[in-house]
Homo-oligomer: A and B are copies of this chain.
Amino acid sequence: MIPDRSLEVLRAIVQDYIASKEPVGSKSLVERHSFGVSAATIRNDMALLEEEDLIHAPHTSAGRVPTDKGYRLFVDRLSEVKPLNASERLAIENFMVGSADLDETLGRTVRLLSQLTNQVAMVQYPTLGKASVRHIELIPAADTRVLMVLITDNGRIQQHVIELGTAVDEAFISELRAKLNAALIGAALTDVAGKVKGIAAAMKPDLAKLANLIIQNLLDQVDANRQEKIILAGTSNLAKRKEDFPGSISPVLEAIEEQVVLLKLISEMQAEQHGVSLRIGRENTLEGLTNASVVVSGYENQGSEIAKLGVIGPTRMDYSSNISAVRAVARYLTKTLGN
């Protein structure tokens, strides 16, 4: 395998490159780190690292730059997670106080994360996955419309307007609301479909039709846990780091504008070590993100993961800091949701 000192050299290269944004050469390396060997020896190590495709020289007489593979080895084996400093902790504590509802909490979270990391931050709204029904409300809205509100025990509220096509009968709506709630409160979302089957059948034909319409809508709503939502913040950080993105930042901007694409990406990412999942450069199958890295962590409610959050930045990012920031914010959000 690769000898220890060579790995140390890789670590030094990654750290120096992240700090200086310049390809790093053997001489400056021995100056800044105390390896106890000469530049020539370092050069031998670098030749080895290059053979392993862990570093790469932009041109013949230039210093070296880590490859995606090099970054990967770095985060997997060489980097320690940097603990947050006091001011960062304080920022987290302060940012969260006094946010009442889910929208606001997540809104604050995403801004916090982007401030902490100086990257693009994203927070996914809780999925309905393992949640259960807390309450269903039907509200006559206009002459022929009903507003349905679905509240789940993870705090998510979904609403949808249903067009009935006929005048709303308030008594009927009340009855249906009562029946739905009786059947569904406490039921897992995955069980909703089974539990509503009988409801419409037990009604008079003309009402059954309406009831079916509404129930179908409810099922759509439940089923729409795929059609999830992500909020972003700090997009302007991309432009500030545009020299870190070879080519242009617009493919990145395009990619993150497509919610569907983003959701697919983070749903594929499963927590690795430290509870954090990483995609580095070309590990992203996504076209636009081949020069970007994604750091993601799940956050929980009632003991199970309900959604994810993370940051997106250039492959040349400070992985240690970003990983710890993402992890800390995820934990903090979990804690906040617990109340």
Give the B-binding residues of A (Cβ under 8 A): 100-102, 134-135, 137, 139-142, 147, 149, 151, 157, 159-161, 163, 233-236, 238-240, 242, 248-251, 253-254, 257
Contact = CB atoms under 8 A, between A and B. Distances in A.
Given A100-B163, A235-B253, A236-B257, 15 more contacts: A102-B161, A134-B141, A135-B139, A135-B140, A137-B147, A139-B151, A147-B149, A147-B151, A157-B161, A233-B257, A236-B251, A236-B254, A239-B249, A239-B253, A240-B248
A159 B158 CA distance: 10
A289 to B, nearest CB: 13
Contacts of A159: 149, 157, 159
A240 B257 CA distance: 14
A257 B239 CA distance: 13
Contacts of A135: 139-141, 147
8 contacts: A139-B151, A141-B151, A147-B151, A149-B159, A236-B250, A236-B251, A236-B254, A239-B239
Contacts of A253: 235-236, 238-239
Copies of this chain in its oligomeric complex: 2
Contacts of A140: 135
A157 B158 CA distance: 12
In the complex, which of the residues A100, A135, A233, A239 has the most CB atoms of chain B within 10 Å of its own CB atom?
A: A239
Given A147-B149, A157-B159, A239-B248, A137 B134 contact: no
A248 B137 CA distance: 49
Contacts of A141: 134-135, 151
A239 B134 CA distance: 44
Nearest to A137: B139
Contacts of A233: 257
Contact of A161 (B100, B139, B239, B249): B100
A77 B257 CA distance: 37
Nearest to A236: B253
A238 B250 CA distance: 8
Lowest 5 A-B CB distances belong to which pairs? A239-B250, A236-B253, A101-B161, A236-B254, A236-B250
Contact of A235 (B134, B139, B151, B257): B257
Contacts of A157: 147, 159, 161
Contacts of A251: 236
A135 B92 CA distance: 38
Contact of A250 (B163, B240, B254): B240
A151 B145 CA distance: 12
Nearest to A253: B236
A160 B100 CA distance: 9
Contacts of A240: 248, 250
Contacts of A151: 139, 141, 147
A254 B147 CA distance: 36
Nearest to A159: B157
A16 to B, nearest CB: 26
Contacts of A235: 235, 253, 257
